[in-house]
Structure 1
Amino acid sequence: MTTTDKTGAPTEVTQQSDRFTISVDGEQAGFTEFVDRDGQRIFPHTEVDDKFEGRGLGTILVRQALEATRNAGLRIVPVCPMVAAFIDKNTEFGDITDPVTDEAKQVASQR
């Protein structure tokens, strides 16, 4: 899905086998990793390049990743602090969010 960041630049979020990436004007600016397991999508880590800071890319990326997770019929396990903070502020994902367990942390750490 294509949208624009806070500067008006076009962004694109793309799903790959183990991550969602966000690009700005065709340049990869960040990613959020995931592991699908037992009906859950565990998010261990999200990163946005420093040179793109303050443009809302993390929010765009995480929102689209969580919407894709919902559409895939999976539940969210927010091991990543950025994903967890997003869910705290955007409660519409609370109904498909599972608590972070020690087992989920272990799966996430094996990335």
Structure 2
Amino acid sequence: MSESAAEATVALSSSHDRYEITTDDELAGFTEFVDRDGRRIFYHTEIGEEFGGRGLGRQLIDRALSDTRAAELRIVPVCPFVKKHLQRHHEFDDLVDAVTQDAIAAVRERTR
């Protein structure tokens, strides 16, 4: 992990239902979710272009998924970034549920 990633901070923003990662007090990215029926549905992740290549996305998603485990919720990876992360890092395999029409409907409801 690079020095920049080590200095990053990941925090839950309850007002936005998302995790945010900051570095040098600047928002570097976020991952958004909706909690529904014991599942945390991750539907959108962004890392600013100027922050790419520092491992910030991995740090952000690892924290979000670890908190999801601690909250005893299942993971539904609608977001392609989260899905790709889960395919590379198998420590959360036991928590992953398939994307269903109900999950898609929950995201649509949330993003209206």
User: What TM-score do you get using the length of structure 2 for normalisation?
Assistant: 0.90
**Alpha-carbon distance, 1:16 to partner:** 1.5
Query: Partners of 1:37 and 1:95 in 2: how far apart?
Result: 18
Query: Partners of 2:13 and 2:37 in 1: how far apart?
Result: 19
Matched position secondary structure for 2:98: coil
**Alpha-carbon distance, 1:106 to partner:** 2.1
Query: Partners of 1:105 and 1:44 in 2: how far apart?
Result: 9
Structure 1 segments unaligned to the other structure (5+ residues):
none
Matched position secondary structure for 2:93: helix
Structure 2 segments unaligned to the other structure (5+ residues):
none
8 A contact 1:44–1:109 mirrored in 2: no
Q: 1:11 aligns with which of 8, 11, 18?
A: 8
Counterpart of 2:22? Answer: 23
**Alpha-carbon distance, 1:92 to partner:** 1.0
Number of residue-to-residue matches in the alignment: 106
String of CA shifts for 1:22-75, please: whole Å, max 9, x gaps: 001111100000101110000000000111011111111001100000001101
Counterpart of 2:61? Answer: 62
String of CA shifts for 1:1-26, please: whole Å, max 9, x gaps: xxxx52x0210000012000000111
Query: Partners of 1:89 and 1:25 in 2: how far apart?
Result: 28
Bigger fraction of residues in helix: 2
Over the aligned positions, Cα root-mean-square deviation in angstroms equals 1.0
Quote the sequence identity (%): 49
8 A contact 1:32–1:43 mirrored in 2: yes
**Which runs of at least 4 in structure 1 moved beyond 2 Å after TM superposition?**
none
Query: Partners of 1:108 and 1:46 in 2: how far apart?
Result: 13
Alignment of structure 1 residues 1-111 onto 2, 5 Å? 6=2, 8-9=3-4, 10-17=7-14, 18-110=17-109, 111=111
User: What TM-score do you get using the length of structure 1 for normalisation?
Assistant: 0.91
